[in-house]
Amino acid sequence: MNREHINDGDVRSPDRALRAVVFDLDGVLVDSFGVMREAFEIAYREVVGAGEPPFEEYSQHLGRYFPDIMTIMDLPLEMEEPFVRESYRLAHRVRMFDGVPELLGALHQQGLRFAVATGKSGPRARSLLDTLGVLPLFDHVIGSDEVAHPKPAPDIVLRALELLKVDAADAVMVGDAVSDLASARAAGVRALAALWGESDPAPLLDAEPDAALKNPEELLTWCLDAAR
């Protein structure tokens, strides 16, 4: 599948109608990149001290659980406490992407069910969605601390399917990281790439998602077509 074609929102026709959508959180539903950068830099300077915080490298691993990223980057796990603390402190600055409230409203009217499967911890994800006033829209919000193996393993998507009571063939996962797509594929779920956040689109397109959408409006069209 060539990159130009998939970037135009190419759709592989599903055999069964869409019943549920599993969303990643950061970079898909909410624009938290600036807050994430600030929290990471504060945590790095507090725990490591000298040197420039390697946020660009950190951002290449988004979608994974924070302690897993620290292990990959050979950074102290002690960075998690100040990172989480600052993330809570700055949460009021996080906003939903333009078009996401309308997307959720339209899909809800269509009768689709929603889950969030995020690299964040469950309590932090639920707190953020509650702060934004949209937590009741989601049937389930699952954090990486609530499954045995976080993304790119399939556990979090499989847990979402279990809670939503739908088969893999009836669901789709929307993510902005290769780890999201890998988790979806390993769970047998169609994988959609969200290209409207800060993530580099090239690795997402190279992973050959079932569709790559430029904005929430394109995702809405895809989901409505798939739900018929």
Q: Are 143 and 122 in contact (CB under 8 A)?
A: yes
Active site residue 26: yes
- Backbone φ and ψ for 93, nearest 5 degrees, come out as -90, -10
Active site residue 8: no
Q: Which of 8, 10, 15, 26 is catalytic?
A: 26
Q: Identify residue 22 by its one-letter amino acid code.
A: V
Q: Which helix (H) or strand (E) holds 53?
A: none
Q: Are 131 and 92 in contact (CB under 8 A)?
A: yes
C-alpha dist (Å) from residue 135 to 126, 127, 128, 132, 224: 7, 8, 8, 8, 22
Task: State the catalytic residues.
Answer: 24, 26
